[in-house]
């Protein structure tokens, strides 16, 4: 089987790339690209890992992922069997090396600052979505003008960062493939026990070397990342499944110790699972 590239390239003849992903899932391999990505989730939900952080994504989310940030969408098939995402890709230099430095575009500089760590829009979603739905029938010029409108709105909208730490060096292909293997194994097996020995073997490294390698590139330990992944999945189960008890949910996401589940959940969400569930009602 041919190895899929870690660095995904876009059509170089186009300064602005319009892309529609539609099917039973999104591209689920850890990857990076030099282009900034602005996406609207039309259908589907799941887990989104950006840089060092585990997030969720759902219908109507507007997501911005900065240049060369490793990221992966993991679709939740139990919640949806239809996935639809509209995206625009461009670089800061796509329209000329000084274009976004023009005085007339000074008000959008916040967009690029936020994009360095990726961010999710928390306001003005209907307004932004309306622009996305115009893209299909638009000329290339109109798409460029729509991009400027979206950048302007997202520069001023409320937002949440998608990551807190970005490795300051671009991943090599070998590094990217190694981290992809680690992330893919973890996201496919987090419901089960994963020992450091097991995941080190996946990375083809000794346990000590892997722990240092992972910490340097994510600013957190592997166990911290694993716990975040489990807690994010437990949140979706708490929101969508009223038939499962909290103990059952803890077991479903890989926590065999209820005290540890409560502790890890509260550390990440500021509430324990019972309090979080009450807030949903």
- Comparing C-alpha atoms, which of 131, 45, 28 is closest to residue 88? 131
Asked whether residue 172 is assigned to any structural domain, the reply reads no
Residue numbers of the domain that contains 270: 179-280
The answer on 94 and 41 residing in a single domain is yes
Asked whether residue 168 is assigned to any structural domain, the reply reads no
Count CB atoms within 10 A of the CB of residue 47: 21
CB 5 within 8 A of CB 175: no
The answer on 106 and 203 residing in a single domain is no
The answer on 154 and 190 residing in a single domain is no
Helices 258-269 and 222-240: crossing angle, nearest 10°?
Answer: 90
- Mean per-residue pLDDT for 27-41? 93
Count CB atoms within 10 A of the CB of residue 277: 16
> CA angle, corner 275, sides to 269 and 278, nearest 5?
120
Residue 267 has pLDDT above 60, yes or no: yes
Q: Which residue has the tokens 């077991």?
A: 251
pLDDT score for 118: 97
pLDDT score for 114: 97
Q: What's the domain count of the chain?
A: 2
What's the rounded Cα separation, in Å, for the pair 210 and 47? 24
Residue 1 has pLDDT above 80, yes or no: no
- Comparing C-alpha atoms, which of 210, 235, 234, 233 is closest to residue 223? 210
Asked whether residue 142 is assigned to any structural domain, the reply reads yes
Residue 173 has pLDDT above 90, yes or no: no
pLDDT score for 4: 54
Q: Which residue has the tokens 């990217």?
A: 176
Rg (CA), the chain: 20
Joined together, the tokens standing for residue 272 give 């324990």
Asked whether residue 219 is assigned to any structural domain, the reply reads yes
| Residues whose CB is less than 8 angstroms from the CB of residue 225 and which lie 6 or more positions away in sequence, other chains included | 52, 54, 186, 214, 218
Instruction: Single out the residue in 108, 133, 161 at which a domain terminates.
Output: 161
Residue 13 has pLDDT above 90, yes or no: no
What's the rounded Cα separation, in Å, for the pair 231 and 54? 9
Instruction: Single out the residue in 113, 131, 161 at which a domain terminates.
Output: 161
- Provide the percentage of residues in the chain whose pLDDT is more than 90: 80
Residue 218's SS3 state is helix
The answer on 76 and 23 residing in a single domain is yes
Joined together, the tokens standing for residue 265 give 């959940």
Residue 14: HSE in the Cβ half-sphere, 13 Å Cα cutoff: 16
Four-CA torsion 130, 133, 138, 141, nearest 10 degrees = 50
35: phi then psi, degrees, rounded to nearest 5: -75, 145
Segment 44-103, tens digit of pLDDT: 999 999 998 999 999 999 999 999 999 999 998 877 788 999 999 999 999 999 999 999
Instruction: Single out the residue in 161, 196, 221 at which a domain terminates.
Output: 161
- Comparing C-alpha atoms, which of 150, 148, 115 is closest to residue 40? 150
- Mean per-residue pLDDT for 232-256? 91
C-alpha distances in angstroms, 261 versus 155, 183, 213, 256? 37, 21, 26, 8
Helices 273-280 and 258-269: crossing angle, nearest 10°?
Answer: 60
Prediction pTM value:
0.90
- The overall average pLDDT reported for the chain is 92
pLDDT score for 111: 98
The answer on 157 and 21 residing in a single domain is yes
- Mean per-residue pLDDT for 132-148? 97
Segment 182-205, tens digit of pLDDT: 999 999 999 999 999 999 999 999
Which pLDDT band, with edges at 50, 70 and 90, does 3 fall under?
Answer: very low
What's the rounded Cα separation, in Å, for the pair 235 and 233? 5
Asked whether residue 56 is assigned to any structural domain, the reply reads yes
């Amino acid at each position: 089987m041919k190895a899929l590239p870690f660095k995904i390239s876009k059509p170089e003849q186009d300064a602005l790339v319009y892309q529609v992903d539609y099917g039973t899932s999104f591209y689920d391999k850890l990857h990076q690209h030099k282009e900034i990505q602005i996406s609207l989730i039309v259908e589907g939900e799941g887990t989104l890992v950006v840089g060092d952080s585990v997030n969720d994504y759902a219908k109507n989310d507007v997501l911005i992922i900065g240049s060369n940030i490793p990221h992966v969408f993991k679709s939740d098939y139990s919640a949806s069997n239809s996935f639809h995402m509209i995206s625009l890709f461009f670089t800061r230099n796509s329209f000329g090396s000084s274009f976004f430095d023009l005085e007339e575009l000074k008000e959008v500089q916040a967009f690029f600052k936020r994009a360095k760590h990726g961010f999710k829009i928390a306001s003005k979603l209907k307004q932004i979505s309306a622009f996305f739905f115009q893209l299909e029938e638009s000329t290339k010029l109109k798409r460029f003008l729509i991009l400027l409108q979206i950048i302007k709105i997202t520069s001023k909208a409320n937002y949440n960062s998608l990551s807190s730490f970005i490795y300051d060096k671009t991943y090599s292909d070998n590094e990217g493939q190694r981290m992809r293997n680690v992330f893919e194994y973890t996201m496919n097996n987090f419901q089960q026990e994963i020992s450091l020995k097991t995941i080190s073997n996946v990375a083809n490294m000794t346990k000590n070397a892997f722990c240092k390698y992972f910490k340097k590139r994510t600013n957190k330990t592997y166990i911290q990342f694993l716990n975040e992944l489990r807690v994010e999945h437990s949140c979706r189960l708490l929101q969508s499944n009223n038939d499962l008890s909290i103990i059952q949910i803890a077991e479903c996401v890989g926590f065999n110790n209820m005290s540890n589940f409560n502790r890890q959940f509260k550390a990440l969400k500021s509430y324990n699972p019972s309090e979080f569930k009450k807030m949903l009602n």
